[in-house]
Amino acid sequence: MQPWPDPVQHTAAHSPGIVGATLGVGKMALIAPVLMALVLFYWLVFCLSVAAWLKALIHLLGGNFIRCALWFNVGVFMLFWWTDKPHDWDTMMPGIVFFTGLGVLATFVRWRKKQQAMQTIPTMPAWPTPKTPANDNLITLFVKDKS
C-alpha cells in the first residue's frame, strides 16, 4: 500500500476541490511584504548584535577604550534584548555608566603613561645659528668657455 496516491500530472492547473490548502495571490501579496519586513528587522538586529561585539573587541585590542566601552554597552543591550531580560534605562544605566567610566579611566591611564614617557626623553638642544656660506651669498655661475 502506497502512503500517497499516484503523482499528479498537472500542478499548475486550478484545483477547485482543495479548500484552505492554497491562498490566492491577492492575499499572499499582502502577507509577503509584512513577513519580509519582519525578517529584515530581525536580520538587521542580529547583524547589529554581532557587529557591536566585534567592534568592542577590535577597539579593545586597538587601545580605544572609550569606544570599546560604548560598543560593549550596545552589545550587552542587544544581548539583553534577544534574551528578554529587563533592559530599560533604570536597570541598564548603572552598568553603562560603570563600563564607560572604566573606558575613560583606562584611556586616562594610557595617556598619562605616554605623557610620562615623553617627559623622560631629553629635550633637543637649541639649533645652532646658520653659518654663512663660503661665497658670501653671491650667485656663482659655472660657465664653460666656448673657445
In the chain, where the domains are located? 25-119
Write down the pLDDT at residue 47.
Answer: 95
Three-state secondary-structure class, residue 36: helix
Q: CA of 48: how far to CAs of 57, 61, 64, 143, in Å?
A: 14, 20, 20, 73
Q: Between these two residues, 2 and 62, which has the higher pLDDT value? A: 62
Q: In the predicted model, is pLDDT for residue 72 greater than 60?
A: yes
Question: CA–CA separation, 8 vs 63, rounded Å?
Answer: 66
Q: pLDDT band at 132, cuts 50/70/90?
A: low
Confidence of residue 88 (pLDDT cuts 50, 70, 90): confident
| pTM for this model (two decimals) | 0.58
Q: Give me the mean pLDDT over the 123-146 stretch.
A: 69
Distance CA 132, CA 51 (A): 62
d(CA 97, CA 118): 31
Residue 29 grid cell? 501579496
Nearest to 68 by CA among 52, 47, 92: 52
Question: What is the reported pLDDT for 120?
Answer: 81
64: cell is 580605544
- pLDDT average, residue stretch 125-144: 68
Q: With contact defined as beta carbons under 8 Å apart, do 55 and 70 qualify?
A: no
Contact 45, 78 (CB under 8 A): yes
